[in-house]
Amino acid sequence: MKRITIIVTHLLGSGHLSRSLILARALRDAGVDAQLISGGMPAPHLDTSGIDFVQLPPVRSDGAGFTKLLDSKGEPASPELMQERSDTMAMVVRRTPPDLLITELFPFGRRMLRGEFLATLTAAQQLDRPPLIFASIRDILAPPSTQAKAEQTEAWLEQYYDGVLVHSDAAVLPLEASWPVTETTAQLLHYTGFIAAPQPSSKPSGHEGDGEILVTAGGGPVGRKLFETAVRAARPGGPRWRLLVGGSDAAAFSERLNQMANGAPVLAEPARPDYREMLGRCAAAVGQCGYNTAIDWLQAGVPGVFVPFAEEGEVEQTIRATSLSARYGFGQIAEDELTPEKLAVAAQGAVERGRISVNGLQLDGAVRSSRILADFMENRR
């Protein structure tokens, strides 16, 4: 049986890990022994069953600026911790040599972790039978801040990589929308379509979420302002606003939001595993525009309002929201322009627009990725 190892570290939310797990399951379903090495904080709300899951000593970012790495206790990550992570990754690759190795986001991002990625890539190339090496990236990247960084990325691609999986539909969001794609890099790109989780049951059980406005902000601690604004946007006599809160303090923050509601039609609770089923029943959704959120909405055909995350100069979600709003009619409010009044009007507009159709959009990216990789491994014989 072929083995594919995926290396991923999520530093803020859990979207990178969630997407990698969907890909790992598609590989497993295709008859591949799928291994996933995770370097981010544990995410107990995500299902890792059936995957050879390796948890490194975790790190996270100190915020949206991605300027400092913290350990599980919130202290600066020590050189000893970073060396342990690097040694563990290389050891796993040597102990269970993969036929194909995938680095999620690197070398296009995660430059803070380049030491451990490069050490692992070097260890892989030194194996008796070196694996094929691919990068796995989403539709929109953080553009390189300097030409030197773009050139360094291309140099790493030339030195180590056999291909790049771009988890996007090129007709909707080509990589050029956020990254300077050279002729050399273009030859490595393989568009897979968007990676979406398997469709929920066509007849979801229960009625929670029926006719509600569903508000989310990913699986991490970001989005607090959006939740607080949503509480103030709820109007007596209108639909209930259900707020699904992520982060380690989700229960405490949910209770605070419920107290803020003061009788308004609001229910705040920690993020729940049947969220995607609820998207099929709600009247509209409100949220940021991370990759997974956007794909969940498109797959469910739910009308909604994007409030893209834009702290510390982040542009990824704004680019995605602008493209999808123009194509499918989603509402959009800039984070620094968000008010309860604007959100209430936009949410009502989404309710009135009704369900959307995305016929023809490629949402089978995990399966298509597994086929692309299978072809590469087969042709290598």
Q: Would you say residue 220 has pLDDT above 60?
A: no
Q: Determine the distance from the C-alpha atom of residue 54 to the mean position of all C-alpha atoms in its chain, rounded to a whole number.
A: 19
Residues whose CB falls within 8 Å of the CB of residue 373, separated by 6 or more in sequence, listed in order = 4, 27, 32, 100, 132, 134, 165
- Model pLDDT for residues 241-277, shown as the tens digit of each residue: 999 998 778 999 999 999 999 999 999 999 888 899 9
* Residue 248, pLDDT score: 78
Give the range among 66-70, 336-340, 348-352, 375-379 with minimum mean pLDDT.
66-70
Does 180 lie in the same domain as 140? yes
Is the backbone of residue 110 left (phi > 0), alpha (psi -120 to 50) or beta?
left
**171-193 per-position pLDDT tens digit:** 999 999 999 999 999 999 999 99
Say which DSSP state 51 is in.
S
Measured CA to CA, the distance from residue 307 to residue 318 in angstroms comes to 8
20 touches 6 (CB < 8 A): yes
Identify whether the C-beta of residue 280 lies closer than 8 Å to the C-beta of residue 200: yes
pLDDT tens profile 71-95: 999 999 999 999 999 999 999 999 9
Which carries the bigger pLDDT value, residue 39 or residue 203?
A: 39
The answer to whether 380 and 132 are in contact (CB under 8 A) is yes
Tell me: pLDDT of 204 over 60: no
- What is the separation of C-alpha 348 from the centre of its chain, rounded to a whole number of angstroms? 27
Q: Is the Cα torsion angle 263, 220, 57, 63 positive or negative in sign?
A: negative
In single-letter form, the type of residue at position 9 comes to T
Q: Is residue 213 predicted with pLDDT exceeding 90?
A: yes
Residues 151 and 220 in one domain: no
CATH number for 262: 3.40.50.2000
374 and 275 part of one domain: no
DSSP string, 147-180: HHHHHHHHHHHHHH-SEEEE-S-TTT--GGGTS-
Q: What is the pTM of this model?
A: 0.89
Instruction: In whole angstroms, give the CA distance from residue 251 to residue 268.
Output: 9
Helix, strand, coil percentages (3-state) for the chain, rounded to 5, are: 40, 15, 45
Any domain includes 207: no
Question: How does residue 54 score in pLDDT terms, banded at 50, 70 and 90?
Answer: very high
CA–CA distance, 202 with 342 (Å, rounded to integer): 33
Residue 91 lies in a domain: yes
Q: Which has the closest alpha carbon to 59: 20, 85, 87? A: 85
Domain membership of residue 74 (yes or no) is: yes
Residue 358: inside a domain: no
Average pLDDT, the chain: 93
Same domain, 191 and 256: no
The Cβ of residue 18 has, within 10 Å, a number of other Cβ atoms equal to 23
One domain, residues 113 and 243 = no
Q: Are 100 and 120 within one domain?
A: yes
Cβ atoms 226, 217 nearer than 8 A: yes
- Give how many domains the chain has, as a whole number: 2
The answer as to whether 208 is a domain residue is no
Which domain does 184 fall in, by range? 3-196+364-379
Same domain, 329 and 225: yes
- 86: tokens are 């690097």
For 154, the token pair is 């291309």
Same domain for 272 and 145?
no
Answer yes or no: is 206 within a domain.
no
Note whether 48 and 69 are same-domain residues.
Answer: yes
Cα–Cα distance measured from residue 316 to residue 308, given in angstroms and rounded to the nearest whole number: 8
User: Distance of CA 288 to CAs 167, 199, 297, Å?
Assistant: 19, 21, 11
Identify the pLDDT of residue 208. 83
pLDDT at 129 over 60: yes
Residue 205 lies in a domain: no
Backbone angles phi, psi at 53, to 5 degrees: -105, 125
Lowest mean pLDDT of 24-38, 178-192, 207-221, 332-346, name the range. Answer: 207-221
The alpha carbon of 325 is separated from its chain's Cα centroid by a whole number of angstroms, namely 19
Backbone torsions φ then ψ of 25, nearest 5 degrees: -70, -40
Same domain, 93 and 172: yes
In a domain, 202, yes or no: no
pLDDT tens sequence across 280-326: 999 999 999 999 999 999 999 999 999 999 887 788 999 999 999 99
Q: Which residue has the tokens 């909405």?
A: 297
Same domain as 257, residue 167: no
Residues 175 and 222 in one domain: no
